[in-house]
Chain A
Amino acid sequence: MKFTIQRELLLHALQLVIGVVERRQTLAVLSNILLKISNNQLHLVGTDLEVELTSHLTLIGDHVAGEITVPGRKFVDIVRSLSDEVMLEISDKNQNVIISSGRSRFTLTTLPAKDFPTSATLPNTIELTLKQTAFLVLLEQTYFAMAQQDVRYFLNGLLLELNDKKVRTVATDGHRLALCDLAMPLLSESTQVIIPRKGVMELLRLLNHNDDEISIKISTQSITLTTREFIFNSRLIDGRFPDYNKVIPKAGDKTVLIDKDLFKQVLNRVAILSNEKYHAVQIQLNAGLMAVIANNPEQEQAEEEVEIDYQGPVVNINFNVNYLIDAITALSTSSIKLTFSNPDSGVLIEGIGIDNVLYIVMPLRI
């Protein structure tokens, strides 16, 4: 194997895949990146057995085909530390890989490519194409509500649902829920899969808001997303996502319209004096007035009032303020609608003028 390439091109391709390579591994080859040259293409592959990332570059100069794995982090650090716009020559010799550039030479240990675990190509049941930015929006609107390390393992990921001419993402940790829809009039398939948290976080890092088309292939066990620059493959969480439709409050009758930025500022200010452990704030609705109140064990208190157009009954309800702020921050509209029902069910948060995004935050018992 041998090839010559400009530093920037290689660095960019490496940075696309390095995110998935864990710093500490039990399996040595997993800290390596696979380099593979075939048909004038250089493929770089990183994996943690759950998420696999592949980037590719077209080679212009002379090159020799072959494949080998090198320590990922060290390889990236070397390429990054070399000067801008230099040319690198990379070749393998006696089970080492040598990176040469000007007067610098680095010799890296390698492991054979045949030991590198690559994902099996599974029969794809569903395939769809959509704009990169549209898919990124689906993720950005919902990812923050995913659970972190819940024993209900199916919550540690993002539900991707195709149904009823819509692509829908749903995330929930049991305390709050986020849902986002994208209409796709031509969609005929329907399915439900759960993408693990790590894969979702990796996609958020890799995707951009551009109009490039991306293709998504969903099989029973994995999801593959292909862009111009990289291929993302992730195993799916094998579990049943809870029936989220059942928990979307439908009987909410107490509605408040409020300016998003104003409400967010109020919450951020009041949160300063909320309990550091529970982050509780109290929301009180009275005719024409909303009060947001927080206090902490040091007996300090924050209180702020906002005029609202509300004539319903008095409401007194407590929330984890961070859950409210997360949801409001994600909304792109300038005004939002809060819908309350009874004191033990959640508040529904929606943007005015859009109907494809909704959030539910469950209250605190205080």
Chain B
Amino acid sequence: MNNINNTSSWPRAIVFIDMNAFFASVEQLDYPEWRGRPIGITNGIQGTCIITCSYEARAYGVKTGMRLKQARHLCPDLLQVPTHPHRYAEVSRNIMHALQDISPDQEIFSVDECFLDVTHCQQLFGTPEQIGLLAKQKVFAASGLLCSVGVSGDKTTAKYAAKQFKPNGFSVIPPWESRERLKNVPVIELCGIGEGITQFLAKYGVRTCGDVAQLPISILGKRFGNIGRRIWYMCQGADPDPLHSYVADAKSMGHGKVMPPNTVDPNVIMTYLRHMCEKVARRLRKNNLQAQHFFIGLRSYDWGWMGNKGQTILPTDDGKMIFELGQKIISDHWTKIPVGQIQVTALDPQRANLQYDLFTTPDEKRTALNTIIDDINAHFGEFTIAPATLLQRSSMHNVIAPAWKPDGHRQSI
């Protein structure tokens, strides 16, 4: 393989772009006084969990997922900054859009990461290395932010390469070197390989990517199916996975919320229930979907979930219908013990109003009402118009979903 001339084009070229401490960087961009200072992002000013933090804070050992109290202990000067999800979405959208100028073959991996397949751009923009540098420039021009870029012949190796130097890193692993470069890398460092797979491999004495290559592919295939087979290729720097540029249909769609600890007041629970039902319904409508089967439940820390799957008469996208189902499920399953969490999930989202029914027609009045409410709320903000029972709710912030995509069905949680 070494006889491949570096000036000829690569058979496959993938560029991976990873924004550095994205939310924190956006805040430091918008508020120059915070630049160079350790900041930790929390959900609103009441949030107690560090969603992410700046590199200055990381130097003190502050990590994502840490409690604010513990972070302050490590870094007394830590500045708490509430999230601005809409702003992050805006910056992300600008970045993703700018990168499409390089290649339309783009997989938005998360709010701050994406893959570009530049195999077919090499005549246009030069070597994959040059395209990788171009990506960095495009990101900076679109946002004023720095990013780390990895370039290789497959997705997994490109992502691994981007991880090598942070922040503002740049790393190229030509495809003919991938196998050798990954050889001594512990398997767990590759994207998508977690504890479960690592433990399974450890039973065979396998720790590094090189070890995996020695293992018969059938062992991984038998245990993990196609994902297992993919891992075998991934470890040899030959991840066959193509870029997924479209957002797959939602398999389920749900919203959950942590309620005040040990809630027993049925009115509080019903307010949260209505809120979650309205959110699920609104999201179904936004994506032109309806569902007929729902999971609705309350969680007690001692007894786990109390709830069940239920069915509406016709597929629905109306919060009121879901709420009525929820009231029934909760009255059947909640044993009045203290609970701390609520969940409403649509289990079978499907195209709205697809199948005509012989005996029931959709409620056109409700449909028209929901359309108007959605239009008003889109203009003046979520829940500007809402069922009156929701007036009592405490302010419940939306959190940007890690899997946010400009056009996806996952926007907030």
Q: A151-B311, A151-B312, A152-B313 are in contact. Are A175 and B354 (CB under 8 A)?
A: no
Alpha-carbon gap, A366 to B313, bound state (A): 21
Binds A, one of B107-115, B122-130, B357-365: B357-365
Interface SS, B side: loop
CB-CB under 8 A from B343, the residues of chain A are none
A174 within 8 A of B: yes
User: Number of residues in A with C-beta < 8 Å to the partner?
Assistant: 25
A114 within 8 A of B: no
A32 within 8 A of B: no
Chain A residue at minimal CB-CB distance from B360: A174
A103 within 8 A of B: no
B351 within 8 A of A: yes
Q: A151-B312, A151-B313 are in contact. Are A278 and B359 (CB under 8 A)?
A: no
Residue in contact with A360 in the complex, picked from B249, B312, B351, B358, CB distance below 8 Å: B358
Residue in contact with A363 in the complex, picked from B350, B356, B359, B360, CB distance below 8 Å: B356
Alpha-carbon gap, A149 to B292, bound state (A): 12
Q: A174-B360, A278-B350 are in contact. Are A364 and B313 (CB under 8 A)?
A: no
> Closest approach, in angstroms, between the C-beta of A70 and any C-beta of chain B?
36
Alpha-carbon gap, A242 to B313, bound state (A): 14
CB-CB under 8 A from A344, the residues of chain B are 356
A55 within 8 A of B: no
Question: Does B350 contact A346, Cβ atoms closer than 8 Å?
Answer: no
CB-CB under 8 A from B355, the residues of chain A are 175, 320, 362, 364-365
Alpha-carbon gap, A344 to B97, bound state (A): 41
B353 within 8 A of A: yes
Interface SS, A side: loop
Chain A residue at minimal CB-CB distance from B312: A151
> Closest approach, in angstroms, between the C-beta of A126 and any C-beta of chain B?
27
Residue in contact with B354 in the complex, picked from A150, A151, A172, A366, CB distance below 8 Å: A366
Q: A277-B350, A278-B350, A278-B351 are in contact. Are A172 and B358 (CB under 8 A)?
A: yes
Q: A151-B311, A151-B313 are in contact. Are A174 and B354 (CB under 8 A)?
A: no
CB-CB under 8 A from B354, the residues of chain A are 278, 364-366
Alpha-carbon gap, A176 to B359, bound state (A): 10
CB-CB under 8 A from A277, the residues of chain B are 249, 350
The A314-366 residues at the B interface (CB cut-off 8 A) are: 320, 344-346, 360, 362-366
CB-CB under 8 A from B356, the residues of chain A are 175, 344-346, 362-365
CB-CB under 8 A from B353, the residues of chain A are 365
Alpha-carbon gap, A2 to B356, bound state (A): 60
Write the B332-368 contact mask toward A (1 if CB under 8 angstroms, else 0): 0000000000000000001101111111100000000
Question: Does A242 contact B359, Cβ atoms closer than 8 Å?
Answer: yes
Chain A residue at minimal CB-CB distance from B354: A364
Chain A residue at minimal CB-CB distance from B357: A174
A247 within 8 A of B: yes
Q: A151-B312, A151-B313, A152-B313 are in contact. Are A247 and B350 (CB under 8 A)?
A: no
The 5 closest A-B pairs by CB, nearest first: A362-B356, A247-B358, A174-B357, A242-B359, A151-B311
Interfacial residues, chain B to chain A (CB-CB below 8 A): 249, 311-313, 350-351, 353-360
Cross-chain pairs A/B with CB under 8 angstroms, 19 sampled: A149-B311, A150-B311, A151-B313, A152-B359, A172-B358, A174-B360, A175-B355, A277-B249, A278-B351, A320-B355, A345-B356, A346-B358, A360-B358, A362-B355, A362-B356, A364-B356, A365-B354, A365-B355, A366-B354
